[in-house]
Amino acid sequence: MENTHYFHDQSGSHWVGITSGGGLEHILYPVEGKPLHNLMSAPYPVRRLSLLLSDDHYDMLAETERGLYYAKYHPLTGMRREVRVDSRAVSSFPYLFRHRSALRMVSVVTGEDQNRCLIRIRAEGAGEDIEIPFPDCGSLAMHVRDAAYAVNGEGRLYGLYHLLQDEGGLHTLDLLEMEPDSEKAVWRRLFASRQPDQRWRICLSLDPGSRPHAAWSIRSGTAAKCYYANDRTDVQSCSPLKIYFEGNVPQPYFLWTGEQVFLLYIMEGNRLSCARSPNMGKDWSGFTEIRLAPEARLRLVQGMERGQSHAALRPVLGTGYPHLRPVAFFDLFPLLQRELLQTDGESLSWMPLHLREMFDWIMLRADSAAHSVRRVETDVAKQRLRLEELAACYERLQEKERSMLAEINELQNWAGAEPISLTFI
């Protein structure tokens, strides 16, 4: 996944990324007009970045070679407030989320002897750090190779960690679940492997019921194996869903609709390998390859989801630039990609779902357009009413002016004085 953040609001499309020199770059593409470009310097080169968009500013947590830095940045004024959160260079994998108006900072901290890993969660302005040791944190030379996070609407934090232990001889995948405002954590080991020379890619997602689902791919030798697990999977029976004999390591990604879930593996050349589960990951169909046009510019970036009491980052797979459109279910319909084959019985079973999703998407766009039209009509009606009120007020002022001039003339005539004239401006 790209270390790039993408947000869209009323002002347009925001892109924030890390430059080749370790600085930060913010580009705003408005709906109309020229893009606004801004470069932000950092005290030290930034390696990883976590960023949330608030109403008028960005909250940023940056990993550097000299520790973690938190910054609040106002893009319209250019004002920035910066503070170092952790001075140790071993702090890594930053993640920000907001729950009940409190900003939480998550990071992985390894001990100086590289034999202990901790997770640090900080509330902005108050509260103490909560340190949660990893399972087997006393093992020799533990390293965190990768991390993925997810937060539900109630503030429950999930973390997925690829750990390397025993001097590189053991790879494990561990799932963390932590309740909000609690120091208790539940760990679950999803996978373990001792194969040498492994390259991993991981993904963590929450279904509509806030249950965690994990997918990962491992390349060892000439084959890449793709796996799936959830919080109820038996680790002893975790077998690969798919094996690829290609040079890259596929990046997994989830799409949800009710109890239906699509598991995508992003391949080279704008290709997707897609499987469907009708029952929350209990059973899976075979994989279907979907080829997208080169101009689609398929990208996996960090987006953001907002609720009434929370805001958190989440991966977004989309097409297009500078205005990114998230991949939808109707994009995955294989019959739109190629001619029908005799083995497409599974693909045909997707047709009702895809047609329903496409209809819902079209109706949503139509409702949005109708809402915009109604808003414009309401604004026009208010302006027309305001103009009518101003015209009526102007007529009343003119009538009052004529009445006052008539009274003044009567007084002048009665007093026998010379006539005078008044001009009202």
Query: What secondary structure does DSSP assign to 33-45, as a single string?
Result: S--EEEEE--SS-
pTM of the model: 0.77
206 contacts 150 by C-beta, under 8 angstroms? yes
**Amino acid sitting at position 257:** T
H-run or E-run covering 190:
strand 185-193
Out of 328, 349, 370, pick the residue that ends a domain.
Answer: 349
Q: Are strands 325-326 and 310-319 parallel, antiparallel or unpaired?
A: antiparallel
- The rounded distance, in Å, linking the Cα atoms of 340 and 350 is 13
Q: Which of 331, 349, 367 is the last residue of a domain?
A: 349
| Residue 185 covered by a domain | yes
Cα-based torsion angle of the residue sequence 177, 311, 259, 316 in order, rounded to the nearest 10 degrees: -100
Residue where one domain finishes, among candidates 322, 349, 376: 349
Is residue 255 domain-shared with residue 379, that is, in the same domain?
A: no
Quote the CA–CA distance of 272 and 292 in Å, as a whole number.
8
One domain, residues 163 and 224: yes
| CATH (domain of 122) | 2.120.10
One DSSP character per residue, 73-86 reads E-TTT--EEEEEEE
Q: Is the domain of 422 the same as that of 373? A: yes
Alpha-carbon distances of 384 from 142, 340, 387, 391, 396, rounded to whole Å: 70, 57, 5, 10, 18
403 shares a domain with 307:
no
Does residue 345 sit in the same domain as residue 370? no
Residue 18 lies in a domain: no
**Residue 28 within a domain:** no
Single out the residue of 105, 157, 110, 107 nearest to residue 126, CA to CA.
105
**Does residue 46 belong to any structural domain of this protein?**
no
Same domain? For 230 and 367 the reply is: no
CB of 405 within 8 A of CB of 423?
no
Same domain for 154 and 253, yes or no, is yes
- Residue 358 shares a structural domain with residue 339: no
Instruction: Indicate the number of domains in the chain.
Output: 2
Q: What is the pLDDT at residue 260?
A: 83
Q: Is 269 exposed, middle or buried (0-12, 13-18, 19+ CB in 10 A)?
A: exposed
Instruction: Identify whether residues 370 and 345 lie together within a single domain.
Output: no
Range of the domain at 361: 352-425
Do 167 and 266 sit in the same domain of this protein?
yes
Q: Regarding beta strands 80-86 and 36-40, do their DSSP bridges make them parallel or antiparallel, or are they unpaired?
A: unpaired
Q: What is the pLDDT of residue 115?
A: 47
What local confidence, expressed as pLDDT, does residue 288 receive?
83
pLDDT by residue for the chain (425 residues), tens only, comes to 788 999 988 888 999 999 988 899 999 998 888 998 888 888 889 999 999 988 778 899 999 888 888 888 887 666 777 788 777 667 889 999 988 878 888 888 876 554 455 666 765 555 567 888 888 766 657 788 999 999 998 889 999 999 988 776 789 999 999 988 777 889 999 998 888 788 999 999 999 889 999 999 999 888 889 999 988 776 666 778 888 877 789 999 999 987 788 999 998 888 888 888 888 888 888 888 888 877 778 899 999 988 777 889 999 999 888 889 888 877 776 544 444 444 444 555 556 666 676 677 788 778 888 888 888 899 999 999 999 999 999 999 999 998 898 888 888 777 665 555 656 55
Regarding whether 315 and 241 lie in a shared domain, the answer is yes
In this prediction, residue 394 carries a pLDDT of 92
Assigned domain for 98 exists: yes
Domain annotation covers residue 65? no
Tell which residue, 202, 245, 248, has the closest CA to residue 227. 202
331: helix, strand or coil: helix
Q: Which two tokens stand for residue 263?
A: 């598991």
* Residue of 253, 257, 280, 277 lying closest to 265 (CA atoms): 253
pLDDT at 344: 46
What residues form DSSP beta bridges with 86?
Answer: 68
Q: What is the per-residue pLDDT for 42? A: 82
Task: Evaluate whether residue 6 is within a structural domain.
Answer: no
Residues in Cβ contact with 415 at an 8 Å cutoff, skipping those fewer than 6 apart: none
Is position 10 within any domain? no
Mark whether 186 and 298 lie in a shared domain. Answer: yes
Look at residue 159 in the predicted model and tell me its pLDDT.
Answer: 94
